[in-house]
Amino acid sequence: MPLSGAQLADSAWNDAAIKLGNSLGAIAGFLGILLVVFFVAGRATGRFGRPTAIAVFLGPAVLLLLVGLVAPLIRTVYLSFRNDDSTRFLGGKNYGWALTTDSIHQVLLNTLLWLLVAPVVATGLGLALALAVERMKWQALYKSLVFMPMAVSLVGASIIWKFVYEAREAGQPQIGLLSEVVIRLGWKHPPNWILDHPLNDFLLMAVMVWVQTGFAMVVLSAAIKAIPDEVTEAARLDGAGGLRLFWYVTVPMIRTTLVVVLTTVMIVTLKAFDIVRTMTGGNFGTQVLANEMYSQSFVQFNVGRGSALAVILFLAVLPLVAYNIVQLRKERTTR
């Protein structure tokens, strides 16, 4: 017998109450464990005091690092040497496939194109906006507006821009902002933006630039504000101004921050998955390494090849992370 509306509502409320109770119970249990651990650490004295304190504060972080990063990394490397269902050892065949297959070459070239274009444009726009905002009133308002896309997930941003790029046949009402604008400007038959390769690659990059420009602007603006007034005034007295002041004074003074911002955006771009997956699914010549890794693992169910691509992606990100750490340490030492 089908349930009535009231019974369905009661069932939904019961399910919600059970889930809420389970969540609250888990939180209470976690807090209880923390209280016990800190109580034990506070009671430890003598020669056991310092080792206990170190274990209490570093232990959970190290455990989470091992469980959430190190163990999955080791397992991924292991799976990258196995076949599609991990039942047979293949050696380096998955890596050979990744480096010799034409379709993967195109994926790697697309990823390299993203890596060369999106970070540079986002960092350049961020720097230009940081310099422009410095001369305006209500700086906080303008910075908030530019930074706002950072609060939107990449999936949400992709959906927004998918509507912007929506295209219909000529003569039909256009709901895509870009198509409507170019038609009003006189372009009678604009293309289907998402299908037009290689233009669609750059249109997808525009989403990443839109999201990351606010981050670049805020960080670089803080670096510009940190330049001592004495340095700027001395340069002005020596006749520097405008572009010369920017190129010979501002850029050298914020060089470390500029490099850190650029490499940070490069890391985010190299792992770009959400934008491509949401807007094109990797079709129409827009496939990138992160989305191909997902497709191989969870669409084609070839865990070995997907793991090999994941390892390649990790090796590509690793030098950027290491360089970023070195630059941050240099900046800290300078200060």
Residue type at position 272: A
Collapsed DSSP state (helix, strand, coil) of residue 250: helix
CB 262, CB 254: distance < 8 Å: no
Alpha-carbon gap, residue 313 to 302, rounded angstroms: 17
Q: Residue 5: pLDDT above 60?
A: no
Provide CB contacts within 8 A for 154, sequence distance 6+.
207, 208, 211, 272, 274, 275, 278
The secondary structure of residue 135, as a DSSP letter, is T
Domain ranges in the chain?
A: 5-79, 98-334
pLDDT category, 173, cuts 50, 70, 90? confident
CB 328, CB 260: distance < 8 Å: yes
What are 82's strand-pairing partners?
89
Q: Which of 122, 305, 103 is nearest to 209 (CA)?
A: 122
Tokens of 11: 């069932």
Q: Residue 326: pLDDT above 70?
A: yes
Q: CA-based diameter of the chain, in Å?
A: 90
CB 175, CB 166: distance < 8 Å: yes
Tokens of 255: 């060089």
Helices 303-334 and 71-79, axial angle in degrees (round to 10): 140
Please report, rounded to a whole number, the percentage of residues in the chain having pLDDT higher than 70.
93
> Residue 155's pLDDT is what?
92
Q: How many residues does the chain have?
A: 335
> Residue 256's pLDDT is what?
86
Q: What is the pLDDT of residues 181-232, one digit of tens each?
A: 888 888 888 888 999 888 999 999 999 999 999 999 999 998 988 888 888 8
Q: Which residue has the higher pLDDT, 239 or 303?
A: 303
Tell me the CA distances in angstroms from 163 to 61, 122, 184, 193, one per residue in order: 42, 22, 18, 11
Q: Residue 145: pLDDT above 80?
A: yes
Q: Residue 52: pLDDT above 60?
A: yes
Q: Give, for 149, the enclosing helix (H) or strand (E).
A: none
Residue type at position 74: I
Tell me the CA distances in angstroms from 93 to 88, 293, 313, one per residue in order: 12, 16, 17
Residue type at position 239: G
Collapsed DSSP state (helix, strand, coil) of residue 283: coil
Q: For the chain, give the mean pLDDT.
A: 86
Q: Residue 140: pLDDT above 90?
A: no
Q: Which of 60-64, 79-83, 237-241, 268-272 has the highest mean pLDDT?
A: 79-83
Q: Residue 6: pLDDT above 70?
A: no
Place of tokens 């989403």: 207
Residue type at position 144: S
Q: What is the pLDDT of residues 80-90, one digit of tens each?
A: 999 988 889 99
DSSP-assigned letters across all residues of 68-116: IIIHHHHHHHHHTTB-TTS-SB-TTHHHHHHHH-HHHHHHHHHHHHHHH
Q: What is the pLDDT of residues 62-117, one digit of tens each?
A: 888 898 889 999 999 999 999 988 889 999 999 999 989 999 999 999 999 999 99
Please report, rounded to a whole number, the percentage of residues in the chain having pLDDT higher than 90.
41
Q: Residue 122: pLDDT above 70?
A: yes
pLDDT category, 334, cuts 50, 70, 90? low
| Statement: 98-334 belongs to CATH 3.30.70.1050 | no
pLDDT category, 322, cuts 50, 70, 90? confident
Q: What is the mean pLDDT of residues 166-190?
A: 84
